[in-house]
């Protein structure tokens, strides 16, 4: 017994095999653990860009689209509605969107229409006061909440008002313009919300 010869080749083989099997076991246990860190399909979908056809949205019509569980207003403004925008500048907190509301929209929407194409307004429909969803009141006529109303968005909860570019009026609880999300035009009748034009290329 004391003179038994040690088979070094077999010992190396068993040691290597044990190491390989152990390594496979560690990898097998680690993969599900690491996969659990990835966002779920539901979470990925919640943050994914949204593509929307504009083909059936008539002039003056508003469509609400859901993006990241937020209501996004897509408004096809008429020429008459666009003409009202400069008329209310003196009554707005930040008419050029370059003051307190500068962070509320991308640079390409930092203009009076607050949009890439003047007729198409794309903005998040959440009041900047307490997060209510304002009503779309497009008619250019006196309203109980504003005798000089030129159309826009009215939050009945606390009486905040926004014009047809989502710019907030002076003297209301809301402090900033309605935010403009990142978006771009895929073609003349399709937009994608959630992706800036420079990222779309």
Average pLDDT over residues 141-155: 93
Second CATH level (architecture) for the domain 45-193? 3-layer Sandwich (2.102)
Neighbours of 186 (CB within 10 A): 13
Residue 140 and residue 142: Cα distance in Å, rounded?
7
Domain residue extents for the chain:
7-38, 45-193
The whole-chain average pLDDT of the chain stands at 86
pLDDT tens digits along 40-96: 555 555 568 899 999 999 999 999 999 988 999 999 999 999 999 999 999 999 888
Is the dihedral angle over the CA atoms 58, 64, 66, 70 positive or is it negative?
Answer: positive
Active site residues: 158
- Which runs of consecutive H residues, i.e. helices, occur in 69-186? 79-84
User: What would the pLDDT profile of 100-134 be if each residue is shown by its tens digit?
Assistant: 566 778 888 888 899 999 999 999 999 988 888 99
Q: What's the rounded Cα separation, in Å, for the pair 178 and 123?
A: 7
């Amino acid at each position: 017994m004391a003179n038994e010869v040690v088979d070094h080749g077999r010992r190396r083989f068993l040691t290597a095999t044990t190491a390989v099997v152990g390594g496979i076991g560690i990898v097998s246990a680690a993969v599900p653990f690491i996969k659990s860190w990835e966002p779920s399909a539901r979470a990925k979908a919640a943050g994914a860009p949204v593509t929307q056809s504009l083909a059936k949205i008539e002039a003056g019509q508003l469509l609400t689209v859901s993006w990241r569980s937020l209501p996004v207003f897509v408004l096809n403004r008429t020429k008459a509605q666009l003409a009202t925008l400069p008329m209310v500048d003196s009554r707005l907190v930040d008419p050029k969107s370059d003051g307190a509301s500068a962070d509320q929209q991308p640079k390409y929407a930092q203009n009076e229409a607050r949009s890439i194409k003047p007729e198409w307004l794309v903005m998040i429909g959440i009041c900047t006061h307490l997060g209510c969803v304002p009503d779309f009141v497009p008619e250019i006529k006196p309203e109980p909440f504003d005798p000089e109303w030129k159309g826009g968005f009215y939050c009945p909860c606390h009486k905040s008002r926004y014009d047809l570019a989502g710019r907030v009026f002076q003297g209301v609880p809301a402090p900033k313009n309605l935010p403009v999300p990142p978006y771009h035009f895929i073609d003349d009748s399709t937009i994608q919300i959630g992706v800036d034009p420079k990222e779309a290329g």
